[in-house]
Structure 1
């Protein structure tokens, strides 16, 4: 029992370490303003989303779809009208949700 708990704790610590490394790499990429850094592209993406008339439509399949749903929910909860459209369902009627403005 103690060995199982120790294994679970070690696994959790490894996961936290990996997540922290990923966030640090993302932070570095966003801070970089030149040489292929994400800084300028990130700023432009934020401007485009903020300036979008109407609602922001987010889409994706599989794990990308799960993330897209969360992005749409986060945008909506922070005051930016947004919703998720599943690409396969879009071809079967969900495109009716997509309108100009």
Structure 2
């Protein structure tokens, strides 16, 4: 079960890194620029620990899919990006793909 906590941490750190990327304003703001690299590096470390027990196809799909959904939500809610029907349908398709990989994953 600990490996799923590592994966959740990897997702949170990746989302923090991507948010810092937006806040860095193309590397013109120092703190978000530095945090971008710190968060991404920590995310990869946590993802590596998660891969000890989770299939790479499942872990990466969950990491990228949930991260994408969270970043889209942050973009809409915090950065005031447009919330279009196509955007929501696309996110649902990503979630459906992640669920499909989870259901098809091999049990360890």
TM-score norm. by structure 1 comes to 0.31
Q: Indicate the structure whose relative CO is greater, using CA pairs within 8 Å and at least 6 residues apart.
A: 2
Name the structure with the higher strand share.
1
Report which of the two structures shows the higher radius of gyration computed on alpha carbons: 1
Name the structure with the higher helix share.
2
TM-score norm. by structure 2 comes to 0.30
